């Protein structure tokens, strides 16, 4: 007499595979989260929405710049000095750094490094500006950071 296979034996593994695929697709990796934050930051900067980009800075960066001085400096530097109203940019793939410090005195934190290359076409011709950008994804202190070590 032949024994029948239960349909559950076929359904359960298939359902587990579907759940795992949904988990991988719907929950972004930290690397993707870092890339998304960098894109959001530089899109705001590209549109001269410096109030929004300042909001995406890490709290340690906000200690360095008040919102109003940041907004004035960005306009002054990029629009007035470079003579460029906007720019295009590209980013590298995020690279995880486990013990990064913003300054010599800072406590080490885990970040993702993203190299951003901005392409300007201004009154002094075409040029590129490369900025090493760091993203903390800490739930209590997320945000964009820059390196200030000597």
Please report whether residue 21 resides in a domain.
Answer: no
Strands (E), the chain: 87-91, 95-100, 109-122, 125-136, 143-146
Please report whether residue 19 resides in a domain.
Answer: no
Model confidence over 7-24: pLDDT tens digits? 667 676 666 677 666 555
Could you give phi then psi for residue 17, rounded to 5 degrees? Answer: -65, -45
Please report whether residue 127 resides in a domain.
Answer: yes
Classify burial at 4, counting beta carbons within 10 Å of its beta carbon; exposed 0-12, middle 13-18, buried 19 or more. exposed
Please report whether residue 141 resides in a domain.
Answer: yes
Please report whether residue 138 resides in a domain.
Answer: yes
Q: How many domains does the chain have?
A: 1
Please report whether residue 99 resides in a domain.
Answer: yes
Domain range enclosing 140: 33-146
Please report whether residue 51 resides in a domain.
Answer: yes
Model confidence over 90-141: pLDDT tens digits? 999 999 999 999 999 999 999 999 999 999 888 888 989 999 999 999 988 8
Q: What is the pTM of this model?
A: 0.80
pLDDT higher than 60, residue 27:
no
Please report whether residue 22 resides in a domain.
Answer: no
How far is residue 82 from each of residues 18, 87, 133, measured CA to CA in Å?
52, 11, 21
Beta bridge partner(s), residue 145: 134
């Amino acid at each position: 007499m032949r024994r029948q296979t239960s349909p559950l034996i076929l359904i359960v593994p298939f359902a587990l595979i579907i759940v795992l695929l949904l988990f991988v697709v719907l929950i972004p990796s930290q690397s993707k989260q870092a890339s998304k934050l960098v894109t959001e930051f530089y899109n705001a900067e590209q549109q001269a929405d410096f109030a929004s980009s300042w909001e995406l800075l890490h709290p340690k960066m906000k200690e360095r710049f008040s919102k109003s001085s940041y907004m004035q400096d960005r306009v002054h530097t990029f629009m007035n000095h470079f003579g460029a109203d906007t720019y295009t940019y590209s980013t590298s793939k995020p690279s995880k750094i486990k013990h990064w410090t913003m300054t010599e005195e800072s406590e080490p934190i885990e970040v993702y490094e993203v190299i951003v290359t901005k392409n300007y076409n201004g009154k002094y011709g075409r040029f590129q500006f490369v900025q090493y950008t760091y993203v903390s994804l800490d739930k209590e202190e997320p945000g964009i950071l820059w390196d200030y070590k000597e």
